[in-house]
Structures are given as structure tokens and as C-alpha cells.
Amino acid sequence: MPSINGTDIKKVVVACDAGMGSSVMLASQLKRQLSKNNVTVEHTPVNSIPADADVVLCHQGLAARARVSAPDKVIIPFQVFIGDPAVTKVVQVVQRGGELSG
């Protein structure tokens, strides 16, 4: 399982499938939260995760596909788009340091 230190995270990708808008809202929220940390946040389809992503956030139902698309990346699955503890942990690790595995 890949891991990364929060200080090394420069790009977070929110990967989605259906394009329903919830993942776009999450990406927008993360951009605001991580802007002071010089972290880029992008929204991409789960099958097109960019090679320069450090961390990939995706709904738990898409985690297996994300791992196939980006096997060497830290994949963080979550259950709800707003207020999920997994997303909060990513923000805290970026802001305060520490290891993130997934």
C-alpha cells in the first residue's frame, strides 16, 4: 500500500464516474482548504487519473477502479462527499504533516 508524507503532497485528485456534481463540489471545497499549502486540486474521471497525482480521493465504490488506473498512488476512499472523516484526515495531514496511506 503506497504512502506519502503530508509535506510531500502537491496534487490531490478527486476522481469520479457519474459526473453528478458532488465530486466537483468536494474538489472546490478542497481547493479552498488547501490553497495556503500550495496544493493543486483537480477533478478527473476515475479512469483518467493523471500521473502527477500524489493522492486520489474517490467514493468507496470507485476505489478498485482507481487502484487499477493509478496503482502507485495513495488512494483514499470515502463514503460521503461532504464531511467524511477520510477527507478530513487528508486535509489535516497536508496542513499538519504526518503519513497518509491508502
Q: Calculate helix-pair angle for 22-34, 85-96, nearest 10 degrees.
A: 20
By residue range, what is the domain housing residue 10?
A: 3-87
Q: Is residue 93 part of a domain?
A: no
Nearest to 9 by CA among 89, 75, 97: 97
Instruction: Find the DSSP H helices in the chain.
Output: 22-34, 63-69, 85-96
Give the mean pLDDT per block of 10 residues along the chain (102 residues): 94 86 92 96 95 97 96 96 94 96 92
**52 within a domain of the structure (yes/no):** yes
Specify if 22 maps to a domain: yes
Q: Active-site residue among 16, 49, 57, 94?
A: 16
Is 16 considered catalytic here? yes
- Number of domains, the chain: 1
In a domain, 92, yes or no: no
Domain contains 98? no
| Domain presence at residue 94 | no
Enter the pTM of the model.
Answer: 0.94
